[in-house]
Chains A and B, each alone.
Chain A
Amino acid sequence: MLAREIGRVATGDRTAFGNVYRMTSAKLYGIVIRILGDRAEAEDVLQEVYLTVWRRAGDYDPAIAAPVTWMVAIARNRAIDRLRALRVVRTPAEIEAILDIEDPGPSPQERVAREQDRHRLDDCLDTLPEVNRLAIRAAFFGGLTYEEAAIAAGVPLGTMKSWIRRGLISLRGCLER
Chain B
Amino acid sequence: MTTEADEAGAIPDDLLAAEFVLGVLDGEQWRATDARCAADPAFAAIVAGWEQRLADLADAVPSMPPPARVHRRVEAELSLLIARMPPPEPEPEPAPPPPKYGVAFWRRMAIGGGVLSAGALAALAVLLFWPLSGVQTFLPRSVDVATLAPGEVDHVLFFVTVDHERQEVLLTPMGVVPADRVPELWYVSADNRAHSLGVFSAALPRVLRLPQLEGAMASTKLRGARLTVSLEPPGGSPTGEPTGPWVAEGVLVPTL
Contacts and interface: CB of A to CB of B under 8 A. Distances in A.
Given A80-B30, A115-B56, A30 B63 contact: yes
B66 A46 contact: yes
B48 A65 contact: yes
A43 B59 contact: no
Contact of B71 (A25, A30, A42): A25
A110 B59 CA distance: 7
A77 B63 CA distance: 18
A103 to B, nearest CB: 8
A145 B48 CA distance: 20
Nearest to A146: B24
Contacts of B24: 139, 144-146, 149, 164
Interface string B49-88: 0011111111111111111011101110110011000000
B52 A50 contact: no
A47 B78 CA distance: 10
B34 interface: yes
Given A65-B51, A159-B3, A166-B1, A25 B66 contact: yes
Interface residues of A, number: 72
Contacts of B23: 35, 76, 80, 139-140, 142-145
A69 B31 contact: no
Contacts, number: 167
B121 to A, nearest CB: 28
Q: Is the interface of A mostly helix, strand, loop or mixed?
A: helix
B89 interface: no
Interface in A78-108: 80-81, 84-85, 87, 101-102, 104
A122 B56 contact: yes
Given A110-B63, A172-B18, A72 B78 contact: no
B61 A101 contact: yes
A162 B70 contact: no
B60 A137 contact: yes
Nearest to A75: B58
Nearest to B151: A47
A172 B55 contact: no
Contact of B22 (A64, A81, A136, A169): A136
Contact of B51 (A35, A69, A171): A69
A72 B55 contact: yes
Interface string B1-43: 1011011000100110011011111110011001000000000
B91 interface: no
B15 A81 contact: no
A136 B6 CA distance: 18
B162 to A, nearest CB: 28
Contact of A141 (B18, B60, B81, B151): B60
Interface of A: 12, 14, 17-18, 21, 25-27, 29-31, 33-35, 42-44, 46-47, 50-51, 54, 64-66, 68-70, 72-73, 76-77, 80-81, 84-85, 87, 101-102, 104, 109-111, 115, 118, 120-122, 136-137, 139-147, 149, 158-159, 161-162, 164-166, 168-169, 171-172, 175
30 contacts: A14-B75, A14-B245, A18-B75, A21-B74, A25-B66, A26-B63, A26-B66, A34-B61, A46-B74, A47-B151, A51-B74, A54-B78, A68-B55, A72-B51, A84-B26, A84-B30, A101-B62, A110-B63, A115-B55, A136-B57, A137-B60, A142-B23, A158-B3, A159-B3, A161-B3, A161-B6, A168-B18, A172-B14, A172-B18, A175-B53
Q: 10 closest A-B pairs (Cβ-Cβ)? A: A158-B3, A29-B66, A26-B63, A69-B55, A143-B23, A73-B51, A121-B56, A30-B64, A30-B63, A168-B18
Given A165-B11, A172-B14, 10 more contacts: A25-B65, A50-B74, A65-B48, A69-B52, A84-B27, A104-B60, A118-B56, A140-B57, A145-B26, A161-B6
